[in-house]
Chains A and B, each alone.
Chain A
């Protein structure tokens, strides 16, 4: 069973993702900001990370860079309301494998995570 670290400062979004992913057979860990995500990644080494961008303490792009220092093979999917091309490029340059724009269709999230996990 794959473990997903869901990183989002929105309680609502973490609850929604947890409900969706647990229902699809994933184990879910949660972090409320980028700094917490880096710490949880170090501790638990999840199979994949779903990362928001706009967050307090440490933003998602900076967190991707920090996680990739810990594990250059880390599988990270951005999940953000910011769908600008420049932001997508910045995320991919930082090491993200894919980008999901909120609001999302549940099927799209599950398909993206499964694709990244192959």
Chain B
């Protein structure tokens, strides 16, 4: 996977997370994983379609998700309810949206699908294992991982792509 596809997500995640949870974050060691199931308690999946295509997954432990949701909603969230689900999904949406603008600037225009939230580890999300580059981000509430599984698709025409395709977010 090209490094040009990774940096926009790191830059976007720093910007969005620092602005929303109002605390500094730092990046851990990048690693490769191959799986066809979710590996975190809470996973937000967003599709990318365009000159670069694939899937981006944002994963956290439930405790981290609740604490982050509490920080961005501005009230204590004890149970991971509908509002918390929506807040965590929106974080993934904002990071991917900002990353897609940076990808466009780098010559890879693309559009994104609405986020899909999956609760529970081990949920099968693909019929075959796929390789993802894991970017661990450390926040004061715990770790957020961004799993990027993207490839260049030079001949795709995205002009007719409707941004509402792909699920509910």
Contacts and interface: CB of A to CB of B under 8 A. Distances in A.
Interface of A: 9-13, 15-16, 34, 53-62, 80-86, 101-103
Contact of B97 (A9, A56, A62, A102): A102
Nearest to A9: B169
A37 to B, nearest CB: 13
A53 B11 CA distance: 22
Interface of B: 15-16, 19-20, 72-73, 82-83, 86-87, 89-90, 93-94, 96-98, 100-101, 104, 109, 111-114, 162-164, 167-169
Given A54-B113, A81-B96, A83-B97, A13 B164 contact: no
A25 B80 CA distance: 31
Given A15-B73, A54-B112, A80 B162 contact: no
7 contacts: A10-B89, A12-B83, A12-B87, A55-B169, A84-B101, A84-B104, A103-B16
A10 B20 contact: no
A20 to B, nearest CB: 11
A10 B169 contact: yes
Contact of A56 (B83, B89, B114): B114
Contacts of B163: 53-54, 59-61, 82
A26 B101 CA distance: 31
